[in-house]
Amino acid sequence: MTSAAPTLTHRIEQDKELVLERTFQAPRDLVFQAFTTPEHLRQWWGPRGWTLIHNDLDLRPGGRWHYCMKCEDKNQGDFYGMESWGLAVYDEIRAPEELVYTDYFSDAEGTINDALPATRSVVTFEDLGGATRVVSRSAYATPEALKAVLDMGMLQGISETWDRLAEHLAER
């Protein structure tokens, strides 16, 4: 069995694509389910101190995942009580190998916030014989759009989120 990468690795390609990679010690089918079912997502989605308070998922091409994370950790200062709404629109689903979607910032009604960068994501799930390598390729319209999400703390947030995923999978 392949040993798990202890942390998320990342690199930037072509100035506007963020590539994230991590190996999880769980079978590919389970990791794919963790990314695609509300029951799993509510257990791990979001950085530490944040809870998934809205989780409406329609997993099909053209379907949507409308979600909201809320900061419930008083130690996070100004973030405490903040809500972060998102809307993912699925283009392709090849279970358990790949998800292709565009992720937008939105409001509680699912209206897309055009003032914030959208992310076109291709997430692949590679079977390593009991472990799964997840590679997320997130493309942005411009290098400035990628910089904007990085400046928002996205790398720390996704690293903590995938740490929570690893913990969730270990409990299965």
Phi and psi torsions of 39, nearest 5°: -60, -40
Instruction: Judge if the upstream peptide bond of residue 96 is cis by omega within 30 degrees of 0.
Output: yes
pLDDT surpasses 60 at 4: no
CB 1 within 8 A of CB 129: yes
Query: Could you tell me the pTM of the whole model?
Result: 0.94
Mean pLDDT of the residues in the chain: 95
3-state helix vs strand vs coil in the chain, percent to 5: 30, 40, 35
CATH architecture, domain defined by 9-170: 2-Layer Sandwich (3.30)
- What pLDDT, on the 0 to 100 scale, is given for residue 1? 41
Report the percentage of the chain scoring pLDDT > 90. Answer: 95
Q: Whose CA is closest to 160, among 38, 73, 58, 57?
A: 73
Q: What are the tens digits of pLDDT across the range 131-140?
A: 999 999 999 9
- What pLDDT, on the 0 to 100 scale, is given for residue 7? 81
Q: What are the tens digits of pLDDT across the range 13-23?
A: 999 999 999 99
Q: What are the tens digits of pLDDT across the range 23-68?
A: 999 999 999 999 999 999 999 999 999 999 999 999 999 999 999 9
